[in-house]
Amino acid sequence: MTEQKPEVKGFYDPKTGSAQYVVSDPDTKKAAIIDPVWDYDEKAGQVCTPNADEILKYVQDAGLEVVWILDTHPHADHFSAAQYLKSKLGAPTAIGEHVVKVQKLWKDIYNLPDDFPTDGSQWDHLFKDGDTFEIGSLPVRVMFSPGHTLASITYVVGDAAFVHDTLMMPDSGTSRADFPGGSARDLYRSIQRLLELPDETRVFVGHDYGRGGRKPQWETTIGETKRNNIHLRDNPSEDDYVRIRNARDAELPLPHLMLEALQINIRGGRTPKPESNGVSYLKIPLNQFSGTSDVCDNPQTITD
């Protein structure tokens, strides 16, 4: 799998700290888009497409044919642009098969109607662990990588691994595991599988926040991760890692778009069905999650 070297173009969204990718086969010009961002202005309640349109322009200018639009998991900090890009490019969408567990979990949290489908049918294809496919002549292998979410997967494309919210850049460690359905223990085990990839494997992460004021970065290697990742370089035991990860997660605020993003992303990048006035609405469950600030020491709900 590591003998072939795809071209990888990263696109960074500073608002969410997200990295999006176009991975392409230099020989055939076939390509896949991975984890595209659908922009959202939460103050105005507007969805727009500057990130996705930048990707479209790159694809057109480079003469690429997009054959897959891929998500690694249902994101908690941005909306997926998979459906918008499918409407422009016609390529099938895909995600990991365990997205159905995330759909069922968040269906309950949002109290969605009984007829909301939780079978993954919002995507064209659901990948299983170990599945293989091609992007042109590039071999792709799917690795189930739970921990950050119940459904997270990694795409290994030639010598490149798209890990999104498992590993981060070495100076930032690893990704959080405190969302509903997350597990630091599962994340540790997923990371151990990733570390079995060859040291020269290029690793493309899903987020970076410019730690210490440096410019955002999103590419490292398995070897560099083993040597320098602040959560892994001392080869912690599973229990030690879980302790470190849980302690760090307890200090983190929830992503400010989580409650908005998940109800878009469990729909595969679609807004809820319009209501009788033709307008789509997002639901925010009140007092279901604990914050990390002192704004709401005593949450209240007052009803009629």
CATH number for the domain spanning 45: value is 3.60.15.10
pLDDT at 293: 58
What is the spatial distance between Cα 217 and Cα 211, in angstroms, rounded to a whole number?
10
Domain count, the chain: 1
Local structure of 86: helix, strand or coil: helix
**pTM to 2 decimal places:** 0.94
Which H or E element spans position 34?
strand 30-34
Q: Residue 62: inside a domain, yes or no?
A: yes
pLDDT at 1: 45
Helices 99-110 and 258-265: crossing angle in degrees, nearest 10, is: 120
pLDDT at 44: 95
Q: Residue 79: inside a domain, yes or no?
A: yes
Domain assignment of residue 205, given as a range? 7-265
Q: Residue 288: inside a domain, yes or no?
A: no
In SS3 terms, 218-280 reads as CEEEHHHHHHHCCCCCCCCCHHHHHHHHHHHHCCCCCCCCHHHHHHHHCCCCCCCCCCCCCCC
Local structure of 152: helix, strand or coil: coil
pLDDT at 218: 97
pLDDT at 301: 66
As averages over each run of 10 residues, the pLDDT of the chain (304 residues) reads: 83 96 98 98 95 98 98 96 98 98 97 97 98 97 97 97 96 95 97 97 96 94 97 96 95 91 97 96 90 64 67
Q: Residue 275: inside a domain, yes or no?
A: no
Cα dihedral 189, 194, 197, 199 sign: negative
